[in-house]
Chains A and B, each alone.
Chain A
């Protein structure tokens, strides 16, 4: 494969318009030779995010290594072990911008550890690009990647049918791949919006500009799609959730220009996870579950009328209410679930330890940290066939499945399907302090128990 760099048009401007631009976070998934590096290299180069000294350094390294062509993977495979072994160890984050948007790519390697890495990259992504080699069509890897994207609740998938030049840009080949894919994907819960695009990353067809080679394709180019796709439009309409990170208490008699005397100031600092608050809203504050009213939504810039998703605030309330880090503020008519025991899907991350029933951990959920024990292992999922099996109850690295967890004290949450922030958690090993599992909450268990209920996903 030759370098995509030599025959590129002059780059488009990489300055994003600071007043208009939004942010899109996406992840890329593909197997080893599907042209993922080439595609990313092209996006970075065309948006002027690769610099001459970087390119020169990569060219020199490629030559020294004896690579026949400029090896774009060297741009971010910067760790010594990666360069020596020619592998990507970890999720690499890359950045580019166009005048319309800033993009953060979580680039996950295609080799054996991909599950852990893809889950990590997908957890913060709004969109996933899943690459398919047009000559091979939908393969097992494609299905795994799609399953993980759906499990992590990525709302948008771009099905990049790549290497179309090697099948003569044949529409019939493309149509069959898309039909095969949709047939598989329609069997998934949480089916994301799928946007298929025929492309050749190597030649640039339908990457930045629409290609003349695919007159039968009427959709956007990849970049046009990435620049305009609407993501998290739903978050503002969701139930309001504000996990408390820190209590701001100046304990001072200073006079603040905007807030007056600070002696009694007590603000709950945090980031709005979803929904909105307005001053005067009736709210419910956890863990005490007391109701009160919002009296102020503060930032350094001054009081705000409204708190909106993803932004950080310090919130004051009418009554003296006992909450601190780990607590949560929600609207009075939109309570969260509170429970000590719940079912969750998890992905196991540790390579030296396995997860077994009765395993004990620190469970970190929003800003909360509680002791937890695995009370039951329901099943593991074979992510190639989507079959569930309860035979082997031990989780090894990259295993995905459903478990039941009991916490030392109740946590306040939503199901992951409803809310990615209040429905997610990680498990931390008590001895090593490593993060050993990612979890997505399915549902609470009531005291009566509901053992027979069918577990979703």
Chain B
């Protein structure tokens, strides 16, 4: 018998983890951002429980700093796979005084998401959140478990993680604690793209080459002209920056909060183009994320607090 392909293995492993999550927890949720990793995860969840509907809801933490294309896609996709969506709003957390908006022209709501996420988890009593995080993404993620324990404050203790052996996953917890579960742990960016190609999964148009007004700031290509729901610009420009805004042919390698998601110059307009581009890339995809560049251990620090 021929061996299975690497994508078959990864798919089956993810389905196994998704089923373990549904079986071991009372009320899991799947964190859905509209980015490619969470799309692949939700796609796999549909397979895992077919012909049943998903035994959990999708949870979107909405920073209010959105690409409209990502929102449109989200609503279409949720309906397509027949899932229920819960939205946690960062704007509401700000309005309720749960968090304070960052100031200055580099302000981002990325960090604020953590409070909204933890509040939403508590409000809905979710005891496990499925995340699309991959170990190849970032060095603090390289040591993340499939089943990652969070204490009653939602925090991660990297030095006190449960060893994971064979395919036995330990989701036992005390009241008030929860888990983050990462079914795509063993996938790389290339695996994700090859799988999207193999499965012909529709994606938000942001991932493909298009023209956009761009400002280059600290080496990042940021999208100009987007407003939040109150009509305020998501990326306010300094006066000296205004003349430097230019139209560029770009695409996004990751899709997250619009205030810190950088674009790359690209003419890749099909999945095949993107696979070729990813193969030739000399930068990691998180190299386009301003949120990771705040310090050497920025990701670890946010994760300890309860970030995705």
Contacts and interface: CB of A to CB of B under 8 A. Distances in A.
B5 A120 contact: no
Contact of B52 (A14, A21, A57, A249): A249
Contacts of B197: 18
B240 interface: no
A21 B158 contact: no
A250 B53 contact: yes
Contacts of B230: none
B166 A95 contact: no
A246 B194 CA distance: 29
Interface in A66-121: 75-81, 83, 89-95, 97, 101-102, 104, 116, 119-120
A249 B300 CA distance: 40
Given A15-B190, A18-B194, A92-B142, A312 B12 contact: yes
Nearest to B287: A53
B127 to A, nearest CB: 13
Contacts of B4: 22-23, 308, 310-311
A224 interface: no
Among B47, B168, B190, max chain A CB count under 10 A is at B168
B5 A271 contact: no
Given A250-B51, A420-B166, A51 B159 contact: no
Interface string B252-296: 000000000000000000000001000101111001000000001
A446 interface: no
Given A51-B283, A236-B1, A433-B170, A15 B15 contact: no
Interface string A47-75: 01001111001000100000000000001
Interface string A360-387: 0010111100000000000000000000
Interface in B133-169: 135-136, 138-140, 142-143, 158-159, 161-168
Nearest to A245: B19
A91 B284 CA distance: 22
Contacts, number: 198
Interface stretch (A284-292, A327-335, A421-429): A421-429
A365 B91 CA distance: 45
B39 to A, nearest CB: 16
Contact of B6 (A76, A80, A101, A311): A101
A364 to B, nearest CB: 5
Interface size grouping (class) on chain B: 35 or more
Q: Which of A21, A53, A124, A420 has the most CB of B within 10 A?
A: A53
A56 to B, nearest CB: 9
Contacts of B16: 245, 271, 312
B221 to A, nearest CB: 15
B5 A248 contact: no
B297 A83 contact: yes
Interface in B46-94: 46-53
A30 B168 CA distance: 26
Nearest to A53: B287
Contacts of A362: 172
Interface string B187-198: 010110010011
A22 B3 contact: yes
B23 interface: yes
B213 interface: no
B279 A424 contact: no
Nearest to A237: B1
Interface string A237-258: 0000000011011101010100
A409 interface: no
Contacts of A124: 165-167
Interface in B170-208: 170, 172-174, 185-186, 188, 190-191, 194, 197-198
Given A78-B140, A236-B1, A248-B49, A93 B186 contact: yes
B22 interface: yes
Contact of B163 (A120, A236, A259, A300): A120
A320 to B, nearest CB: 18
Contact of B19 (A116, A269, A433): A269
Given A23-B9, A95-B136, A311-B12, A265 B51 contact: yes
